[in-house]
Amino acid sequence: MTKNYNKGLHNPTCPFGKFFPSELNRDDLYYMQLAYNEAIDAWNENNVPIGAVVALNGIVIASDHNQVDSMRDPTAHAEILAINKASQYFGDWRLIDSTLYVTKEPCPMCAGAAIMSRIRRVVFAISDPKMGCLGGATNLNSLPNSNHRVKISSGVLEKHCRVLIQSFFKKVRIRE
């Protein structure tokens, strides 16, 4: 079965609304809500709705969303795009002390990128038992000889992010 989320002439508009979190309370939920908003942008461009934010010291350094289908690029995951932007912002490949927020547990590529970029912490909403590489399917963070480990938190805004992705796939299946 081929999966082409761009096919068809249907309006891809996401039926879910964005969050408008208070800037006064910059906790994990605040940043995850911004990542969720990016995921909605992904949906509106006909991509699987996953969003990511890189934050440091209370400031959003970079954010982006999955664009695999719209860019026809298998590496255009939300985390990779956000990490690239953050590196450009810092002028450095090391994202030391930064936190990556993402609506779904990072895949092998993105978990690898998070570790390679020396990100301090990864916070994800829903775990992925199929491809998640920070504990869901396997854990790249526990490579015995690795010289960097990320701190991991999960479950932030889990229900919303899960419903968003499940609804997207339901809509795609109806369309096909």
Q: Annotated binding residue at 77?
A: yes
Q: How many CB atoms lie within 10 A of CB 16?
A: 15
Stretch that binds Zn ion, among 6-14, 17-25, 74-82, 147-155 (CB under 5 A): 74-82
Q: Is residue 86 within the footprint of Zn ion (CB under 5 A)? A: no
| In contact, 49 and 168? CB cutoff 8 Å | yes
175: its two tokens: 């369309």
Interface with Zn ion includes 48 (CB under 5 A)? no
User: From the CB of 110, what's the least distance to Zn ion, in Å?
Assistant: 3
Closest separation in Å from C-beta 174 to Zn ion: 26
Q: Is 172 in the site for Zn ion (CB under 5 A)?
A: no
Check if the beta carbon of residue 47 is closer than 8 Å to that of residue 3: no
Q: Would you call 45 a catalytic residue per the annotation?
A: no
With contacts defined by CB under 5 A, name the span among 8-16, 104-112, 121-129, 165-173 that binds Zn ion: 104-112
Q: Which of 35, 110, 140, 150 binds Zn ion (CB under 5 A)?
A: 110
Rg (CA), the chain: 16
Q: What gap in Å lies between CA 123 and CA 148, rounded to an integer?
A: 16
What are the b/e assignments for 95-110, b being 16+ CB within 10 Å?
A: beebbbbbbbbbbeeb
Beta strands 51-56; 59-65: pairing state: antiparallel
77 binds Zn ion (CB under 5 A): yes
| Count of residues of this chain found to bind Zn ion when the rule CB under 5 A is applied | 4
> Which residues are annotated binding-site positions for Zn(2+)?
77, 107, 110
Residues that bind Zn ion in the complex, under the rule CB under 5 A: 77, 107, 109-110
